[in-house]
Amino acid sequence: MEIDPFIFRLSIFILSIFIGYYVVWSVTPSLHTPLMSVTNAISSVIIVGAIIAALAGTSESIFNTSSIFGFIAIILAAINIFGGFLVTQRMLQMYKKKKDKKK
Amino acid sequence: MISANLAAIFYLVSGILFILALRGLSSPDTSRQGNYFGIAGMIIAIVVTFLSIGNFSTSLVYVIIFLVIGGAIGAFIAIKIPMTAMPELVAGFHSLVGLAAVFVAIAAFLNPAVFNLGNIGDIKLASLIEMSIGAAVGAITFSGSIIAFLKLRGIMSGAPIIFSGQHILNLILGIGIFVLIFYLCKTQSSNIFWTVIIISFLVGVLLIIPIGGADMPVVISMLNSYSGWAAAGIGFTLENTALIITGALVGSSGAILSYIMCKAMNRSFVSVILGGFGADSSTDDKKEKKDQKPVKSGNAEDAAFLMKNASSVIIVPGYGMAVAQAQHALREMVDKLKKNDIKVTYAIHPVAGRMPGHMNVLLAEANVPYDEVFELEDINNDFANSDVAFVIGANDVTNPVAKTDPKSPIFGMPVLDVEKCKSVLFVKRSLSPGYAGIDNELFYRDNTLMLFADAKKMTEDIVKNLD
């Protein structure tokens, strides 16, 4: 009997939960805020679904009922992607060691 | 146009890059590199999506325009936002992920053919379940995060909103969502799909309104987790590995942070969800007690004198410091102390601030080197060997009651042992209790000197007196 592809996706999902578990425990507590902002940014990879939906419109009707939701989702996800990565970068730039100090 | 298999491999690559992005955060040294891995993963995912669709019609131009509009808004916010507002920002971003998940699910429901999920009215069963779960969790994340945002921003009162039958209502609505999804699968009716989304919006609101301001760090972490699960649900619908991996990572990350926050407050996750913590409890009877107990209070001169004659000082910052914007003045004070060869370190409680790690970011912004900042378990033993503890804007996390009084609502919560220091300087505007609504026994100790003032003003005055 053939294995349903769903099972493979489920396997990836469950293994990723385990990876997430161990990786996140190793994150230093002082970086928990950047952790949240970066997870925010990466979860916006949902934009791939939005792009697929948005590109489904035909040339006569670029904005049909389905694609319009895709377009709005693109804006939302893009705010998150740019905002999330940039604000993370801004925060991480501030973390400095003692010896880096100029004063 | 690239083949589906090749695209899947690229999605896997971007998933791995996201794992590396989180991995980088294990130390500030590697974190910046980690962030670049994350950005690379995102670029790969987006480019591969364009290539795999291969539709380069006018639609593409619009997609790019919308992408740029969203990107510009996001970049603008990211550059302008003050670090004190980080919790609101993160809550706001969570709501966007949630709403994006809802919209993608709606788009997939209205036009299943583009996603290879079957046809309208005849969507594959598994896909239908996945997309409705994704949509429901997304909707809860959206409305819940909006409430969290409003509370953190101060637009809505942080006090818990509680009404009778609240939990039963939530339970009924929760079960209702599952029943509706079951019928949705049977009938494929779009009305049921819309109803599921609307009820989920409602559940999100109802879930967050009873949770008080003190529990906000848990709420933000929890919503972080939800946004991940929503993304994973959509990932299953779209059969996209990058999305499934990311959803799982973010989901478990948020769950771990919620756990850490709950533990730091010695509260169970269930009691946080049920809410009601931080509502004021019989304040009258406490006020009377307060009048009887003597409090030693001093001014900036006394504080400066104490610190100048100390050999080691531990700073205990809390959210009050951030509100007063005192971090830069504090840094100035510390610089002066260091010039006098006084050892200065910072002690941070896990729930100091409004979100996990918030205080560390605020100190980093004020150019405090991260290797002078210590977590609770690393520094707690040092209080006994230190001369002065300078508590600025923190309150409940220093309350010795948590160790001594089993009746106290915060009993058992890990606290910073500031009272073991030779002397404690406590900067506070008044004797009012903190978030937990309880009196801090520390105020009345013999070795405590209260400095009644605004945190920033007091710190600046101390700086002047240190010369």
CB nearest B57 (choices: A21, A40, A59): A59
Dihedral through CA B417, CA B404, CA B423, CA B313, nearest 10? 10
B81 Rama sector, left if φ>0, alpha if ψ -120 to 50, beta otherwise? beta
CB within 8 Å of B156: residues ≥ 6 apart: B147, B150
Distance CA B260, CA B75 (A): 30
Contact yes or no for A65/B63 (Cβ under 8 A): no
Angle among Cα B111, B70, A69 to the nearest 5 degrees reads 15
Q: Which own/partner pairs from B290-295 qualify as long-range (CB within 8 Å, at least 24 positions apart)?
A: B290/B431, B290/B439, B293/B443, B293/B444, B294/B444, B295/B431, B295/B443, B295/B444, B295/B450
* Rounded alpha-carbon distances, angstroms, from residue B418 to A47, B12, B389, B425, B440: 48, 49, 6, 10, 12
Contact yes or no for B389/B424 (Cβ under 8 A): yes
Please indicate whether, in this complex, the C-beta atoms of B62 and A71 are within 8 angstroms of each other.
yes
Confidence band (pLDDT; 50, 70, 90) for A56? confident
Confidence band (pLDDT; 50, 70, 90) for A82? very high
Q: Around B120, how many Cα atoms within 13 Å sit in the side-chain half-sphere?
A: 6
Structure tokens at B457: 């003003």
**B375 membership: H or E segment, kind and range:** strand B373-375
Mean pLDDT by 10 residues, chain B (467 residues): 87 95 92 94 94 80 92 94 91 95 93 84 87 94 94 82 82 92 89 94 91 83 93 92 94 92 83 62 42 74 85 88 85 88 90 86 89 88 88 85 80 86 85 71 83 86 84
**Residues of B carrying an active site annotation:** 396
pLDDT recorded at residue B422:
86
* Residues in chain A, overall count: 103
Exposure string of A11-23, with b = 16+ CB inside 10 Å and e = fewer, is: ebbeebbebbeeb
Structure tokens at B243: 């999305």
pLDDT recorded at residue B275:
67
CB pairs under 8 A between A and B: 376
**Strand residue runs (E) in B89-237:** 118-119, 122-123
- Over pLDDT 90: what percentage of chain A? 65
CB nearest A96 (choices: B26, B93, B369): B369
Angle among Cα A5, A6, A7 to the nearest 5 degrees reads 90
Structure tokens at B446: 């013999």
For residue B371, list chain A residues with Cβ-Cβ distance below 8 A. Answer: 97-98
Please indicate whether, in this complex, the C-beta atoms of A16 and B38 are within 8 angstroms of each other.
no
Please indicate whether, in this complex, the C-beta atoms of B59 and A89 are within 8 angstroms of each other.
no
- Over pLDDT 70: what percentage of chain A? 91
Beta partners for residue B34, in sequence order: none
pLDDT recorded at residue B289:
47
Report DSSP letters for B99-142, one per residue: HHHHHHHHHHHH-GGGGTSEETTEE-HHHHHHHHHHHHHHHHHH
pTM over 0.80: yes
pLDDT recorded at residue B434:
67
Distance CA B221, CA B223 (A): 5
CB nearest B228 (choices: A39, A77, A88): A39
Chain CA centroid to CA B173, Å: 26
Exposure string of B148-175, with b = 16+ CB inside 10 Å and e = fewer, is: bbbbbeeebebebbeeeebeeebeeebe
DSSP B334: H
Distance CA B441, CA B430 (A): 14
Residue from B61, B90, B250 to probe the interface with A (highest A Cβ count within 10 Å): B250
pLDDT recorded at residue B277:
59
Nearest CA in chain B to A20: B249
**Tokens 């990572």, located at residue:** B249
Confidence band (pLDDT; 50, 70, 90) for A59? low
Full 3-state SS string of chain A: CCCCHHHHHHHHHHHHHHHHHHHHHCCCHHHHHHHHHHHHHHHHHHHHHHHHHHCCCCCCCCCCHHHHHHHHHHHHHHHHHHHHHHHHHHHHHHCCCHHHCCC
For residue B49, list chain A residues with Cβ-Cβ distance below 8 A. Answer: 47-48, 51-52
Amino acid present at B239: E
* Rounded alpha-carbon distances, angstroms, from residue A52 to A55, B53, B184, B270: 5, 7, 24, 39
Please indicate whether, in this complex, the C-beta atoms of B246 and A14 are within 8 angstroms of each other.
no
pLDDT tens figures, A11-43: 999 999 999 999 999 999 899 999 999 999 999
Chain CA centroid to CA B263, Å: 15
Please indicate whether, in this complex, the C-beta atoms of A29 and B357 are within 8 angstroms of each other.
yes
A75 Rama sector, left if φ>0, alpha if ψ -120 to 50, beta otherwise? alpha
Query: How close A37 comes to chain B (CA, Å)?
Result: 6
Dihedral through CA A80, CA A82, CA A85, CA A86, nearest 10? -120
**Tokens 């995060």, located at residue:** B145
CB nearest B232 (choices: A13, A24, A86): A13
Please indicate whether, in this complex, the C-beta atoms of B100 and A91 are within 8 angstroms of each other.
no
Amino acid present at B405: D
Q: Which backbone phi and psi does B373 adopt, to 5 degrees?
A: -105, 125
